[in-house]
């Protein structure tokens, strides 16, 4: 399927730049819930499609931004490879562009790395409609500033992604998930203790009652590690990691605002009101809470972390953790450097970005 919209998009952005028209960027809209309420004219990006350039021996996949994530993952699977950051889709039709723009990563993140760790290069349109390419398709590249990684998770505020090159990795030969009955506090200690030992861990979570640990690697290696850690082997059809990643786990079925709290993994349970679920050895803590944002953020900040109102709640308020003035100034300067007329997804991050 090929539908190269580069020149149309370029024209639309150039005109919007000239007239100061705000644009809202969307792929399949599966992550429209995230960030502050979008404003502006839709950037017709519906189907910027083209050939998926996949080089299994190079461990690289380059594709236009509207390529469905599922399509890429299916193609990688035919060569027994994967996107090691295990991106959540959050709905059918999720695109590569949306995935990289949001920068979400799944259960393997603490061990394999985040979305940005796998971004090798991007082709973008900046806020003036200039077509620019940063990074490339090779594993190591330090020529110029790392704009390709800067684009990851920037939610389109610095440029419209047209093409993304990702590093891919081989799928582990074997994966086993273990379950142990442990509460949050004991699970935090256990997960972080195991993570400090040379074991083939690839995910760790706690739902408040059970700790889940995934081991990935060779048959023998996984078996030996499993004996060391102990616990019940979870049946594959439980799909625990997929349910956690896609927020299909029972915990997420709720109308209560969902907070994403990010702290150092070993941080003891936080005194926050609401039900919580831990991922990433405790570095990622989901919290269902109607508590006041300011008091919650003050507490999280004391632990060196930050809190995002992930789903629900007031989408016109401070969805993201406020930045200190010095950092906010840099953000505003960067925004102007890439998008001088402030037309790309304005206000999606903060009112002034």
Footprint (CB under 8 A) of other proteins, residues 314-343: 320-324, 326-327, 330-331, 333-334, 336-338
- Print the binding letters for residues 208-247 with other proteins: x by CB under 8 A, - otherwise: ---------xxxxx-xxx----------------------
| In the complex, minimum distance from the CB of residue 116 to other proteins, in angstroms, rounded to a whole number | 6
Nearest to 262 by CA among 36, 90, 110, 84: 110
| In the complex, minimum distance from the CB of residue 99 to other proteins, in angstroms, rounded to a whole number | 15
Total Cβ atoms within 10 A of residue 291: 14
DSSP line for 34-45: SSSPP-SEEE--
Total Cβ atoms within 10 A of residue 238: 12
- Please report how many Cα atoms fall inside a 13 Å half-sphere around the Cα of residue 24, on the Cβ side: 16
Query: Six-digit token pair at 213?
Result: 């640990």
133 binds other proteins (CB under 8 A): yes
Burial class (CB in 10 A: 0-12, 13-18, 19+), 13: buried
| In the complex, minimum distance from the CB of residue 112 to other proteins, in angstroms, rounded to a whole number | 10
Cβ-based nearer residue to other proteins, 198 or 250: 198
351 binds other proteins (CB under 8 A): no
Residues 249-308 within binding reach of other proteins (CB under 8 A)? 262-266, 280, 283-284, 304-306, 308
Residues 6+ apart with CB under 8 A from 77: 171
Residues 6+ apart with CB under 8 A from 255: 312
Residues 9-48 within binding reach of other proteins (CB under 8 A)? none
From candidates 7, 19, 20, 198, binder to other proteins by CB under 8 A = 198
- Print the binding letters for residues 135-164 with other proteins: x by CB under 8 A, - otherwise: -xxxxxxxxxxxx-xx-xxx--xx------
From candidates 200, 226, 346, 347, binder to other proteins by CB under 8 A = 200
309 binds other proteins (CB under 8 A): no
Torsion-angle region of 138 (φ positive above 0: left; ψ -120 to 50: alpha; else: beta): beta
Cβ-based nearer residue to other proteins, 94 or 188: 188
Stretch that binds other proteins, among 25-33, 85-93, 187-195, 248-256 (CB under 8 A): 187-195
DSSP line for 185-207: HHHHHHHHHHHTSS--EEEEEE-
80 binds other proteins (CB under 8 A): yes
**Eight-class DSSP state of 238:** G
From candidates 37, 55, 290, 352, binder to other proteins by CB under 8 A = 55
């Amino acid at each position: 399927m090929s539908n190269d919209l580069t020149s149309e998009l370029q024209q639309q952005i150039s005109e919007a730049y000239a007239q100061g028209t705000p644009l809202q960027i969307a792929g399949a809209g599966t992550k429209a819930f995230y960030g502050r309420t979008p404003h502006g004219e839709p950037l017709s990006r519906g189907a910027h499609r083209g050939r998926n350039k996949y080089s299994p021996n190079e461990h690289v996949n380059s594709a236009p931004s509207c390529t469905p994530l599922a399509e890429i993952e299916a193609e990688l699977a035919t060569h027994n490879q994967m996107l090691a950051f295990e991106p959540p889709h959050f709905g059918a039709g999720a695109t590569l562009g949306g995935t990289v723009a949001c920068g979400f990563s799944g259960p393997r993140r603490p061990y394999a790395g985040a979305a940005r760790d796998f971004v090798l290069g991007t082709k973008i349109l900046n806020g003036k409609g200039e077509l620019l390419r940063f990074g490339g398709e090779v594993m190591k590249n330090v020529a110029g500033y790392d704009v390709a990684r800067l684009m990851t998770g920037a939610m389109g505020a610095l440029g419209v992604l047209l093409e993304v090159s990702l590093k891919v990795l081989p799928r582990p030969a074997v994966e086993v998930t273990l379950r142990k009955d442990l509460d949050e506090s004991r699970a935090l200690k256990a997960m972080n203790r195991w993570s400090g030992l040379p074991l083939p861990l690839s995910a760790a979570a706690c739902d408040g009652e059970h700790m889940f640990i995934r081991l990935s690697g060779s048959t023998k290696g996984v078996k030996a590690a499993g004996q060391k850690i102990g616990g019940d082997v979870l049946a594959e059809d439980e799909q625990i990691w997929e349910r956690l990643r896609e927020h299909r786990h029972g915990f997420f079925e709720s109308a209560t605002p969902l907070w994403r709290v990010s702290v150092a993994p070993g941080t003891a349970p936080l005194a926050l009101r609401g039900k919580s679920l831990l991922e990433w050895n405790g570095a990622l803590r989901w919290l269902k809470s109607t508590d006041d944002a300011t008091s919650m953020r003050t507490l999280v900040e004391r632990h060196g972390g930050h809190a995002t109102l992930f789903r629900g709640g007031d989408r016109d308020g401070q969805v993201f953790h406020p930045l200190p003035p010095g950092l906010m100034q840099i953000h505003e300067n960067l925004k102007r450097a890439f998008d001088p007329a402030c037309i790309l997804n304005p206000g999606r991050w903060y009112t002034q970005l």
